[in-house]
Amino acid sequence: MVGRALLAWSGGKDSAWALHVLRGQAMEVAGLFTTVDEASGRVPIHAVRTTLLEAQARAIGLPLHQLPIPVGCANAVYEATLDAFVKEAKSQGITQIAFGDLFLEDIRRYRERQFAASGVDLLFPLWGARTRDLAEEMTAAGLRAWITCVDTTQAPAAWAGSVFDPQFVRQIAPPVDPCGENGEFHTFVFSGPMLRRPLDTQVGTLTRDGRWAYADIVAAKAGERSPE
């Protein structure tokens, strides 16, 4: 595979594993990009602090491009922000944009329509993988991630602040997708083969906001480390 790619980044397990797969295919991933809520300084939905994403990027060894968007961002504003970013990236030699999507056809079709006129190719390195097998493969390879956000209409609120590891994967039962692809839960990776070193992080405050249960992930205090 040839070309230079940017990878859509949330800090979660699917984007992290997509990076691992692309590197295994000798694809040149030149950087990561993410939208950021400009008011809170966090990743939308995942609610992860951008300071932690920056720490991830340093551990990965790639630049992180942050695209600020307003609270309650209209879709037209979101698309214009991405279009301007991709146009600039293309002028600097980027030929592909990669995503960690797994099987949601409507999301893939949306991305293909959005970037149809951009002149860059889209990559979906995890597309079509069986999510149970994928979750087991990730965790067997050493990927560990905090559960940062849970949709309590689809999964238990108590999962917020848990670690995505082999034991957690084994307890996931239908109809919950093992990778949370239907939005059941979201994650923040703190260890894995895509990182040069694990991140010292821990769970801070647990909160609820309507249907959502959140775990605020913070840098670990001196002498305290993330679970292995």
pLDDT at position 224 is: 47
Which pLDDT score, from 0 to 100, does residue 223 have?
Answer: 47
Please report the pLDDT score of residue 55 as a whole number: 96
User: CATH 3.40.50.620 in the chain, residues?
Assistant: 4-123
pLDDT at 18: 98
Q: Find the helix or strand (DSSP H, E) in which 32 lies.
A: strand 28-37
Please check the confidence at residue 102 and state whether its pLDDT lies above 80: yes
Helix (H, G, I), strand (E, B) or coil at 162: coil
4-123 is classed CATH 3.40.50.620: yes
For position 225, what pLDDT does the model report?
53
Confidence of residue 40 (pLDDT cuts 50, 70, 90): confident
Strand partners for 162: none
Angle value at C-alpha 161, between 140 and 222, nearest 5 degrees: 90
Q: Residue count of the chain, please give it.
A: 228
Question: How far apart, in whole angstroms, are the C-alpha atoms of residue 166 and residue 177?
Answer: 15
Quick one: pLDDT band at residue 3, thresholds 50, 70, 90? confident
Average pLDDT, the chain: 92
| Closest to 136 measured CA to CA, from 105, 170, 160 | 170
Mean pLDDT for the stretch of residues 182-192: 97
- Tens-digit pLDDT profile for residues 52-94: 999 999 999 999 999 988 877 778 888 899 999 999 999 999 9
**DSSP SS3 for 117:** coil
What is the DSSP code (8-state) at residue 120?
-
Q: What is the mean pLDDT of residues 110-138?
A: 95
DSSP string, 82-134: HHHHHHHHHHTT--EEE----S-HHHHHHHHHHTTTSS-EEE-TTTT--HHHH
Cα separation, 225 vs 217, whole angstroms:
12
Token pair of 137 as six digits? 């493969």
223 vs 205, higher pLDDT: 205
pLDDT at 172: 97
Of the chain, the percentage scoring pLDDT greater than 90 comes to 79
Average pLDDT on 148-154 reads 97
The pTM is what? 0.92
Kindly tell me if the per-residue pLDDT of 17 is higher than 50. yes
Q: Count CB neighbours of 197 within 10 A.
A: 9
Confidence at residue 38, expressed as pLDDT on a 0 to 100 scale: 82
